[in-house]
Amino acid sequence: MAPERLTAQDAQYLYIERPNQHMHVGGLCILDPSTRPDGRLRFEDVAAVITSRLHLVPRFRQKVVFVPGNVGRPVWVDDTGFDVDFHLRRAALPAPGGRRELADYVQRVVSRPLDRSKPLWEIYVIEGLEDGLVAALSKVHHCMIDGMGGVDIATVMFDFSPEPQVLAPQPWSPGPKPSRAELLRDAVKDQAVNPVSALVSAARSVAAAPARAAGGLGQVASGVL
């Protein structure tokens, strides 16, 4: 995919992130393998389904790149070193695998920041739950997910019918990473074409959620020449 500039609202979630205030969202689902013919759900099964569907959510193979000097909002670019094994994690709970053990594990995962040098998502397949259950924990940065983005993750992870749909993985070749000079040139061009767009979008974000957004408005505005 061609590089795409983050909206002001999405960029603010990066700007206002702090070591004690992570701007990712998480989701946990509990799966019952007893409905499968063999009564099992292996990590490899889940990984195969998710890998076969990555082309449905192209953003999952893109990472954030900041413009030198912060003269423009960051851009989404293809991750030329994308490795799905980094984003799909396998874990197991200690016995007895009850709610306390699951909650302890989830809070440890959610309390860690995402690696900004890679696409901003992780999915954990958690085994060892009591009654033979399996959990799936997703963690995605808020800059790449909103109400509709949540539907995208559901599309990747779940089927809407009892029969699983394992698609044929689509070939993918990442686009080249833009150079520093290209990032600067495109940022300046973007601001020259529409210099107030970032401020207008950011102002709308502040109006919608002032307590959360106000801290990032100054940094969004700093990208406007």
Which of the residues are catalytic? 142
- 157-167 in b/e form (b: 16+ CB < 10 A) is beeeeeeeeee
- Measure the CA–CA gap between 179 and 29, rounded to whole angstroms: 40
Name residue 169's amino acid. Answer: P
Name residue 67's amino acid. Answer: V
The angle that helices 197-208 and 8-15 make with each other, rounded to 10 degrees, is 70
Backbone angles phi, psi at 16, to 5 degrees: -90, 0
